[in-house]
Structure 1
Amino acid sequence: MDVLAFSNRQLGKSLSLICGALTWLREHKSKSLESQLREVEKDDGAPDWVKQFARDEKKQKLLQEKADMEARLARIREKEEREKQLANRSSDLKIKRRVYHFCPPDQYTVVWLTGGQKGEVAVEVDGDDDEAQFRLEDYESGDEEGGVKGSSGGDTLSPAIFYCSRTHSQLTQFINELRRVKIPPPFPEEEDSALGKEVKHLSLGSRKNLCINPKVTKLGNPTAINERCLELQRSGASEASRCEFLPGKEDQVAVRDFRDHTLAKIRDIEDLASLGKNMGICPYYASRPTIKPSEIVTLPYPLLLQKSAREALDLSLKGHVVIVDEAHNLMNAISSIYSITVSLSQLQRSQAQLDIYLAKFKNRLKGKNKVYVMQTVRIIESLASYLEEISKKSKEGVIAPGDLLAMQGIDQVNFYKLQTYLNESKLARKVEGYTVHKEAKEQEKNKLANKPGGAKALQPTATIPVLTHIQGFLLALTNPSAEGKFFHCKTEDKNNPCLRYMLLDPAHHFREIVEEARAVILAGGTMEPMNDYINHLFPYLPKERIRTLSCGHVIPKENLTALPVTKGPGGREFEFTFEKRMQPAMIEELGRAIVNLCQVIPHGVVCFFPSYAYLEFVVSQWRKKPTPTSNTVVKSLWERLEDRKTVFRESSDGSSVEEVLTEYAQAIDSGKGGLLLSVVGGKMSEGINFNDNLGRGIIMVGLPFPNSNTAEWRAKLEHVEKAAGREFYENACMRAVNQSIGRAIRHREDYAVIALIDKRYSTDRIASKLPKWIQNGLVRGPMDKVFGEVMATTGKFFGAKNALRNVGEHERVRFRRLH
């Protein structure tokens, strides 16, 4: 791939990735065409004029196919623009829904419906009480080892770019950048044509994001939506009970029409869902044929990183390029996807459900149904008994997988065959369904006995079957012991202990992606320190196959000052270790330091704490009124902070993030300024930009090391080599720090002061793990020892910025007067 240089320093990471990837993609398509044409010329015995004719004919055919598709897309874009204009002229109509009639694009029409009657779908509760629906069908699988049918191989001559990020909001930001890009067409013949210049993009999402069936979306829970969706398309189901939006074999014209509308313009996931609603076709399934003709496919982490999700989408990465953005989250994301927790109450609930189910159907179970159901019962009983016993002995600890399976002889169970059975028989759904049905009948019976008016039928459960959740834990029992560990631990409810499987080695699950794709690019603004990726994500790759590129920030050096703050105004040393951070004197010194910094840092200041619990404790200390030494009123540190700026706090539940950010911005705009107390790893430490006046100062309190005394972190540190344990631990901490402080500087004209409050930031070991662009602005020297120097340096920094701004304003006024 050729190196693409940018002279404009305002180009961001997303735009750089888009331009580089699309330039390579278009050039690759051009080279692929030439390669195909050379194949035509290989007939050595043919005259040159015959070869040339065959070459021209082949080229014309390929270009015509492409031109036909581009023409269809162009007509769709024109029609959508006309519809938009029509909608603007008809704004007085109360339009409820559009219905697209599936015609060839040149005959495409739109019907506008008003009044809200036609097309609405009523949500009803299934009143069928036939208990036969809960019986298990005879299970005689010919291939009990199961396995999912593999995805079809990718077209290596037409690769796509798969762009993956953590959240849909981050993907939306990327898509907005994609709309700004205009790339020349891959073939010279298209240079003077409008065709071929539009990027063909597809947003892939989960059923939760794309389902348009109100009977399914009302469930809310992603796993419950998945289960219900599969239930509505099971083989043998009547037409009335199948999902009305699911495309069938007879709907291929509609699917192609959906494909063309998807590719006609760049759409985000919400646009795709709306398109499916308007066309009356499921966008989750109808989008699959759109993958192959797409140039860029955007998708969230789980759809790429989880093998079962890729298989469900029939998604092949062979020959394609994978870009993982926000890759500082990658290892944690993989571990989170493949880790699972099951509580004692869930195991007991599943036991009770199976007891109810067997009381009705046990005598009807035959053959392998009986074998596998009884195996499931024994396993769940064994896990529940083991958890009850071990939780009495200790709060948490590591469990050997053999200990979990030693009771009641369940170590003889073939878990692979059992998993296949549970998936194919839908036992979990049938058990849950019968239990809800039974409970509903009991409730109705009791109410009828007390109230002559009768009782309403219970709504179907909106949660996933508990046995489905336990299945995930049973699957973890088949993993190699080197990849992860099992724990027992306490939940917030002390009477409800839990078993947890935690994936420790993400390399195996990501390796399949690396080996299948043409290339994998990990991108992030704050990926330092990077050693962990090489050592723990790609340990199997030769070093020459891994290339790293680190670019400096777009800002000039004078726009950033980073200060290690080792002492407070009273000379007390800052060291927020786990053992010392609760000291009242140091917390008071911290408050005084922030009060002083807020005096010289204008506009907005964002202060990050190691955890929600520590933030709450610090605030409670700052609110305490000091004992007055005379008749004068002495203010608390909290009141002194509020005198400097309006103070805001991040909530641990994250429910008021938008409201807090809005009020924070309003306080800054009002002129008083704002101080936002936030948490590393919280909602405001990632994905939110504190650019310009929103973040003129960033204060980092301590180093947010994870609690190494927990069983899980002890297992993580034991998993890596002992010599690398400390490095791994520090790197995890510093990636979190770097991600938080990187929220401030967002464009080349931006500027800020970063105060790192802890004496450990003055050590070379910790300072070297900061991003290079922050290291370049790190000021060392007297301020390591004296807080007054920190204040002087900060005041000088903003004084220079104010002077520069005043000079600029003076020049603008002078220019206006002269002209």
Structure 2
Amino acid sequence: MAAVDKPRDFHHPHTPYAVQIEFMNILYSAIEDGCVAILESPTGTGKSLSLLCGALTWLRNHQSKTIEEQLAESEGEDDEPEWVKAHAREEKRRRLLRERTELEQRLKRVREREKREKKAAEMAANVDRRKIRRVNVETTTENDDDEQWELDDYLSDDEDGGRPKPSNEGDGLSADVKELMTKLGMTIPGSKKEEEEEELPDQTKIYFCSRTHSQISQFINELRKIDLPPPLQTDIDEGLCSDVKQLSLGSRRNLCINPRVSKLSSTMAINERCLELQKSGTPDEKRCQFLPKHDDKIRPREFRDHALATIRDIEDLADLGTKMGICPYYASRAAIKPSEIVTLPYQLLLQSSAREALGISLKDHVVIIDEAHNLMDTISSIYSVTVTLPQLQRCNEQLDFYLTKYRNRLKGGNKVYVMQTHRLLRSLTLTLENLSKQQKEREVPSGDILAHHGVDQINFNKLQKYLTESKLARKLEGYLLSQQEEEQKSKVQSRRGNGRVLDTSTNPTSPDAVPLLTHIQSFLTALTNPSSEGKIFCSVTDSKEWCLKYMLLDPAHHFRTIVNEARAVILAGGTMQPMEDYTTHLFPYLPPDKIRTLSCGHVIPSENLLASPLVKRPSGGDFDFTFSCRNDPSMIDDLGMSIANLCNFIPHGVVCFFPSYSYLDLVVERWQKKTKDGVPTVWERLGAKKCIFRESNEKSGVEEILRDYKIAIDTGKGGLLLGVVGGKMSEGINFNDNLGRGVIMVGLPFPNPNSPEWKAKKEHVESMAYDTYPLRKLSTSGEPGIVDEVARKAYAKAAAQAFYENACMRAVNQSVGRAIRHINDYAVIVLIDRRYATNRIQAKLPGWIKSSMIPVNSGGVKQPGMSEGRVVDVVSRCAKFFRGRK
């Protein structure tokens, strides 16, 4: 009889569901085989624990296997006596154990010390805690001489476009970075200096990313529940322990403990201020006091040991830095190599510049991206940038004012590149001013932007390097701020200077603000990208300002570096359908055998979910919320009456999602319209069934709405919450139990196909599909045949349409998945639109919803269990579903 493979022990803290075991096995094999995996596991199925247990079990098995392979390596020649080989193996075993136990023993002592400190703190609550000296915020304008804002010499005839580098800078690191790395006890690449303590090896690790720090904190709480065996089992206690070495990474905004810096309002302003406090030549009293002294190697190592000794989230790490008086943003880097799992927001992982700043190498490590349903949009957002006409005009005015003071002092490279920057800014401004006069949103060829003032002759790469190295943006902003402060002190509204006046009263420069030139520089960087990756548009912002927007169209290029470096990449989410977008548009270069996909079913019993399309209007005809039909007043009235009928039989809380804020406003306005004969309005009829709550487009108020909604449900009144797909209610908020016994989706939230951005996206997808159309063979010889051009164009158009529909359905899936949150939960999902009854749309729903979908009779012979898609059919099924439930 064939041997049966022993099931893997994933060290799950609970008895795992069958779908969790399937999920963990697929995850494990994908990592082992070095693949990309796209995994969907509905919320409520224990996805986080499945990710952790599957990945960490592989990691510990991999560590054990590596150790065993090292121990099994032969020591000495084959003809040597067995006792010599045995002695060599034992010596090697002890050496490996010693290398692996030194850090573990230190971490064990840290844990014991922290336990003692915690116990002492609990026994003496009135003990004074150590306080970090707070330094008053100092202005940087003490020097009345304007020389501090003058640019340092820059040699334009240098081949690299900048000042000559000292011989020791061949590694690409600046002097400031090297000085900081030395302070933190980190090894400088290429340096021959030997450290007193041998550098820790780069442990094979898991990089776990999610969208927000709050989601990562939830993940860390799950990590604390897992008990893993040590990577090497021994007969005696040699210091090895099973605790996972975890590290949280974040930005300066999350980890800065310097009050002079952390109080600034923007992330970029915090970054800029932090770098200023580290500059060479800055007096000690003005430097950041939380960076260790040059000869202090003890505190960074102590911080590393404390950071790894226990599982900490980002707030814990910041508190640790405050307690130890050391910058956690920089000190945490020394803990990256010996860690086993590193958690961070995926925005920091997706940007190559952020990875370099944090000292992250993905080589042969495992990358897990949770909540990956928005991954492609996030990549596009990170690498897209917008500059408005007022920003360009303001930056032009600032540079003019700066040149009034310093024009005659500029020489060499400074003169060349500052004047190039000036010409480029004027060209961008003139281009956008001319485009705005046409009052039309449109795509803008890059050649049109570079058509003025000889801008097409500028070497963009050299100019970019100059702007980065010269810190022109910071000098410019600093000078303007100093002038502004002088004007405020003297209570003068304008300053005379060589015939040039800058009015700072209307648009003052803020010390917290990101330098305008820095922001515009990111747009200039985008202009250097290949035209196949993105497009430039002239459009109008929400604040009605004309702008130039670079939009990334192809996210595959920027994500490919991560895929190429990592051992395996795992994309996981509660709603990953439709998955073909990832395989087609994010991993088009990978062969099929390198991609694994899984869509798990739900853990709830089938009788706990009812999903049904609502197709027929009460007054006759179909519910059709396409753009051309959705404003029909009678259909909007039918919608309201249908929702009111559903609220008669759906208890407690009902969440209803609309395609957009503008359409929700239009519907509510119609429902509230008074009738001439005094008949109750649709809004009044809805209000008689449940308390109505409405999501607002305002940034605030979400917590208050949810609080009042919950109170209405808890007090037995019931609640109807009107939300928007893609809004604040459709993602990240759980409507579990009585908060969401019903989810209603009104229409399909298709993006505007006529917007310049979506026209460009569809054209890009169509072009890619056209180029990759599979050639038909005319014979068995293998020679390609004549391309059927009609079929090829149809194939390309179908690909663009599928991409467009997938964007819509991904948003729908994310919204309707808000209701079922655990194994005992139950709810109904009603999809109101005739298109939800089609196989094409239903195929793009998650499998766990499709399996509970009531089929609709489309005009043929009605089969048992089919619905007519009428309100009365759906209402009767809802009544039956909730009958007998508490």
Please indicate, yes or no, whether the TM-score normalized by the shorter chain is above 0.5: yes
Q: Which of 385, 410, 417 in structure 2 is aligned with 1:372?
A: 417
2:26 maps to which residue?
none
Work out whether 1:167 is the aligned partner of 2:167.
no
Q: Quick check: 564-573 or 715-724, which moved more?
A: 564-573
Q: How far does residue 578 in structure 1 lie from its aligned partner after superposition? A: 1.0
Letter in 2 for 1:730: E
Work out whether 1:553 is the aligned partner of 2:602.
yes
Structure 2: gaps of 5 or more residues: 18-43, 163-169, 174-187, 191-198, 496-507, 767-795, 857-865
Question: Would you say the 8 A contact 1:14–1:174 is kept in 2?
Answer: yes
Q: How does 1:452-467 map to 2 (within 5 A)?
A: 461-467=511-517
Alpha-carbon deviations, 1:572-601, whole Å to 9, x = none? 521111111112111111111111111101
Structure 1: gaps of 5 or more residues: 99-112, 451-457, 803-819
The verdict on how the C-alpha distance between 1:646 and 1:161 changes in structure 2, with shifts beyond 3 A counting, is same
1:144 maps to which residue?
160
2:537 maps to which residue?
487
Question: Would you say the 8 A contact 1:202–1:266 is kept in 2?
Answer: yes
Secondary structure at 2:743's aligned position in 1?
strand
Q: How far does residue 697 in structure 1 lie from its aligned partner after superposition? A: 0.5
Alpha-carbon deviations, 1:353-395, whole Å to 9, x = none? 1111111111111111111111000000000001101111242
Q: How does 1:517-536 map to 2 (within 5 A)?
A: 517-536=566-585
Distance 1:540 1:82 in 2: 54
Q: Which of 148, 152, 161 in structure 2 is aligned with 1:133?
A: 148
Q: Quick check: 697-706 or 75-84, which moved more?
A: 75-84
Alpha-carbon deviations, 1:281-328, whole Å to 9, x = none? 111101111111111101112110011111111211001000011111
Structure 1's consecutive aligned runs of 4 or more residues displaced over 4 angstroms after TM superposition are 1-7, 145-157, 190-195, 447-450
Q: How far does residue 194 in structure 1 lie from its aligned partner after superposition? A: 8.4
Alpha-carbon deviations, 1:457-505, whole Å to 9, x = none? x9952110000000000000100000000001122454x3110000000
Secondary structure at 1:402's aligned position in 2?
helix
Q: Which of 8, 12, 25 in structure 1 is aligned with 2:59?
A: 25
Question: Would you say the 8 A contact 2:101–2:238 is kept in 1?
Answer: no
Alpha-carbon deviations, 1:535-562, whole Å to 9, x = none? 1001111111111122111111111110
Work out whether 1:185 is the aligned partner of 2:230.
yes
Q: How far does residue 65 in structure 1 lie from its aligned partner after superposition? A: 3.2
Question: Would you say the 8 A contact 1:569–1:589 is kept in 2?
Answer: yes
The verdict on how the C-alpha distance between 1:696 and 1:682 changes in structure 2, with shifts beyond 3 A counting, is same
2:872 maps to which residue?
788
Question: Would you say the 8 A contact 1:571–1:787 is kept in 2?
Answer: no
Q: How far does residue 571 in structure 1 lie from its aligned partner after superposition? A: 3.5
Distance 1:677 1:253 in 2: 57
The verdict on how the C-alpha distance between 1:55 and 1:240 changes in structure 2, with shifts beyond 3 A counting, is same
1:121 maps to which residue?
135
1:810 maps to which residue?
none
Distance 2:844 2:233 in 1: 48
Distance 1:662 1:564 in 2: 30
Alignment TM-score, normalising by the size of structure 1: 0.90
Distance 1:239 1:767 in 2: 65
Question: Would you say the 8 A contact 2:203–2:339 is kept in 1?
Answer: no
Secondary structure at 1:487's aligned position in 2?
strand
Distance 2:703 2:675 in 1: 34
2:792 maps to which residue?
none
Letter in 2 for 1:544: D
Q: How far does residue 33 in structure 1 lie from its aligned partner after superposition? A: 1.0
Q: How does 1:175-574 map to 2 (within 5 A)?
A: 175-189=220-234, 195-447=240-492, 461-494=511-544, 496-574=545-623
Letter in 1 for 2:869: K
Q: How far does residue 215 in structure 1 lie from its aligned partner after superposition? A: 1.1
Letter in 2 for 1:158: Q
Letter in 2 for 1:624: K
Q: Which of 731, 734, 741 in structure 1 is aligned with 2:816?
A: 741
1:752 maps to which residue?
827
2:712 maps to which residue?
667
Question: Would you say the 8 A contact 1:202–1:296 is kept in 2?
Answer: yes
Alpha-carbon deviations, 1:321-342, whole Å to 9, x = none? 0001111110000000000000
Q: Quick check: 414-423 or 129-138, which moved more?
A: 129-138
Question: Would you say the 8 A contact 2:441–2:756 is kept in 1?
Answer: yes
1:606 maps to which residue?
655
The verdict on how the C-alpha distance between 1:389 and 1:34 changes in structure 2, with shifts beyond 3 A counting, is same
1:455 maps to which residue?
none
Distance 2:658 2:580 in 1: 26
Question: Would you say the 8 A contact 2:201–2:338 is kept in 1?
Answer: no
Secondary structure at 1:709's aligned position in 2?
coil
Question: Would you say the 8 A contact 1:190–1:196 is kept in 2?
Answer: no
Question: Would you say the 8 A contact 1:648–1:675 is kept in 2?
Answer: yes
Alignment TM-score, normalising by the size of structure 2: 0.83
Distance 1:126 1:321 in 2: 44
Identity of aligned residues (%): 59
The verdict on how the C-alpha distance between 1:8 and 1:716 changes in structure 2, with shifts beyond 3 A counting, is same
Q: Quick check: 722-731 or 619-628, which moved more?
A: 619-628
Distance 1:4 1:702 in 2: 45
1:797 maps to which residue?
881
Work out whether 1:90 is the aligned partner of 2:124.
yes
Alpha-carbon deviations, 1:706-759, whole Å to 9, x = none? 011100000000000232110000000000000111111111111110000111
Secondary structure at 2:617's aligned position in 1?
coil
- The two structures, once aligned, show a CA RMSD in angstroms of 2.5
Q: How far does residue 237 in structure 1 lie from its aligned partner after superposition? A: 2.2
The verdict on how the C-alpha distance between 1:22 and 1:588 changes in structure 2, with shifts beyond 3 A counting, is same
Alpha-carbon deviations, 1:422-456, whole Å to 9, x = none? 11110000001101111222332335999xxxxxx
The verdict on how the C-alpha distance between 1:47 and 1:272 changes in structure 2, with shifts beyond 3 A counting, is same
The verdict on how the C-alpha distance between 1:134 and 1:404 changes in structure 2, with shifts beyond 3 A counting, is same
Distance 1:171 1:582 in 2: 42
Secondary structure at 1:779's aligned position in 2?
coil
Distance 1:690 1:143 in 2: 61
Alpha-carbon deviations, 1:679-704, whole Å to 9, x = none? 11111211111111111110111100
Question: Would you say the 8 A contact 1:568–1:592 is kept in 2?
Answer: no
Aligned residues: 771
Distance 1:31 1:352 in 2: 64
Secondary structure at 2:885's aligned position in 1?
helix
Work out whether 1:616 is the aligned partner of 2:630.
no
Question: Would you say the 8 A contact 2:480–2:509 is kept in 1?
Answer: no
Letter in 2 for 1:479: N
Question: Would you say the 8 A contact 2:820–2:826 is kept in 1?
Answer: yes
Work out whether 1:64 is the aligned partner of 2:98.
yes
Q: Quick check: 663-672 or 427-436, which moved more?
A: 663-672
Q: How far does residue 241 in structure 1 lie from its aligned partner after superposition? A: 2.4
Distance 1:436 1:688 in 2: 42
1:731 maps to which residue?
806
Alpha-carbon deviations, 1:777-810, whole Å to 9, x = none? 00123534321110000010111534xxxxxxxx
The verdict on how the C-alpha distance between 1:539 and 1:433 changes in structure 2, with shifts beyond 3 A counting, is same
Letter in 2 for 1:71: Q
Q: Quick check: 541-550 or 282-291, which moved more?
A: 541-550
Distance 2:121 2:691 in 1: 44
Question: Would you say the 8 A contact 2:690–2:719 is kept in 1?
Answer: yes
Distance 2:9 2:447 in 1: 54
Distance 1:799 1:474 in 2: 62
Question: Would you say the 8 A contact 1:208–1:217 is kept in 2?
Answer: yes
